[in-house]
Structure 1
Amino acid sequence: MDKPVIILGAKGIAHPALEIFNSNQVIVYGFLDEDESIYGTEINSIPILGNTEDEGFLKLVGKKTEAFVAVDDTKYRKFLVEMLHDVRKVQPVNAIHQRAYISTDASIGHGNFINANVLVGAGTEVGSHCILHTGAIIDHKVKVGDFVQIGAGSIINADVTIEEGAFIGSGVTIVGGVTIGKGARVGAGSVVIASVGKNETVFGNPAAKVK
């Protein structure tokens, strides 16, 4: 990556995103965030410059810088991604840690956060704007939709489908072949042995629907 990066968001995954770009020798120009109380402060000597919608900084994106959206909240993440599409006509870049392993025939979209020791297996498809936390294992021929979040240490077995916007907590195991529906949530430590419907929340071993 030749251009420096502006990171939209200065909390949550923003700090590890900075570490990822540093590990790949990519310069981070600065952070933008909606919280005015942290303007003028720094994260590891990188300044928090201003608001995520500040046109003075956003006009640099696509010309002199790239952008990465480091926001955990899916709704706000979508808003910022759409703003970059509409206003700057750009896609956010990926933040992929040097110690992540992406199979040579896996496909990865745009704007993903992939932390250290993540494994993405052969033939797996990862959409765009996903968050894959440390040590998550996504086995072969898995399909991961856009805006999916997978917690640290989770194991997604072969042929699983995880639809758009689903949230998988830390330490979850999903057995092969099941589908996690759009917007579904799987609680931390759960073992999922059957498909989960759209917008359902499940928890436990075996995972059961939470009412």
Structure 2
Amino acid sequence: MKNNLLIIGASGHGKVVADIALKMNKWQNIAFLDDDKSLKSSMGLEVIGTSDDVFSHLAEYEVFVGIGNNGTRQRIHEMLETVEASIPVLIHPNAVIGNQVEIEHGTVVMAGAVVNCCTKIGKSCIINTGSTIDHDNCIEDFVHISPGAHLAGTVKVGQGTWLGIGSVVSNNINITNGCTVGAGAVVVKDISKPGIYIGVPVRRV
């Protein structure tokens, strides 16, 4: 493990990522890269360049993508993999992680989140504040589980899907890749077509 952490993205999501990294107390130095060249610091941490500068820092820094948009985060994360960057997992000290939980690199688990036993979470996911993921879930790569979303047992969420704030997924449900589930929506049946889903129970729009 390198002693320094570089976070790509210094705005909203990136600031929360930085706050978690600081609370983990694993890195001697934490800095940002951001494409807003007028930005010199964020969260009291220095912005040392733009995202294009990442390649010159790979020897000294672990790198984490602090960008909320699933597609953008995926693109940058996959680029970092091709150059063999060291990409950590960030877990807030107040998150609860069960036994036999597997979490891939580039994923962040935020304050108050609960991930129960035997769940697998892919790479570069966001498990946001106060969300709960129960037993035997499979969360594929580049998924965003928003604040206060709740997933019952044995749920599968496909790559790149975004579950909105306060959404609920019943047990034994499969949600396919590339879906957006709206705020407060309730999923009680499998979702097999990509798209935007809202309502109680959800319907495709």
Q: TM-score, length-normalised on structure 1?
A: 0.92
Instruction: Name structure 2 gaps, 5 residues minimum.
Output: none
> 1:209: which partner in 2?
204
Contact 1:106 1:121 in 2 (8 A): yes
Q: Where in structure 2 are the equivalents of 1:1-211 lying within 5 Å?
A: 3-27=3-27, 28-38=29-39, 41-54=40-53, 57-61=54-58, 63-87=59-83, 89-210=84-205
Deviation at 1:44, TM superposition (A): 2.6
Contact 2:145 2:164 in 1 (8 A): yes
What SS is found at the alignment partner of 2:74? helix
Identity of aligned residues (%): 29
Structure 1 CA distance, aligned partners of 2:21 and 2:30?
11
Letter in 1 for 2:49: G
Structure 2 CA distance, aligned partners of 1:178 and 1:86?
33
Contact 2:125 2:142 in 1 (8 A): yes
Q: TM-score, length-normalised on structure 2?
A: 0.94
Instruction: Give the ranges of 4+ consecutive aligned residues of structure 1 lying more than 6 Å apart after TM superposition.
Output: none
Aligned residues: 204
Instruction: Name structure 1 gaps, 5 residues minimum.
Output: none
Give per-residue Cα distances to partners, 1:56-109, cap 9 Å, x unaligned: x53332x3221111011222212211221223x124211110001111211111
Deviation at 1:50, TM superposition (A): 1.1
Give per-residue Cα distances to partners, 1:16-71, cap 9 Å, x unaligned: 11110111113343100112232xx21232111111111xx53332x322111101
Structure 2 CA distance, aligned partners of 1:26 and 1:18?
12
Contact 2:71 2:160 in 1 (8 A): no
Letter in 2 for 1:82: E
Report the aligned-residue RMSD.
1.4
What SS is found at the alignment partner of 2:6? strand
Contact 1:6 1:29 in 2 (8 A): yes
Greater alpha carbon shift after TM alignment, 114-123 vs 198-207: 198-207
Structure 2 CA distance, aligned partners of 1:143 and 1:83?
24
Structure 1 CA distance, aligned partners of 2:61 and 2:2?
9
Structure 2 CA distance, aligned partners of 1:91 and 1:42?
23
Structure 2 CA distance, aligned partners of 1:153 and 1:144?
16
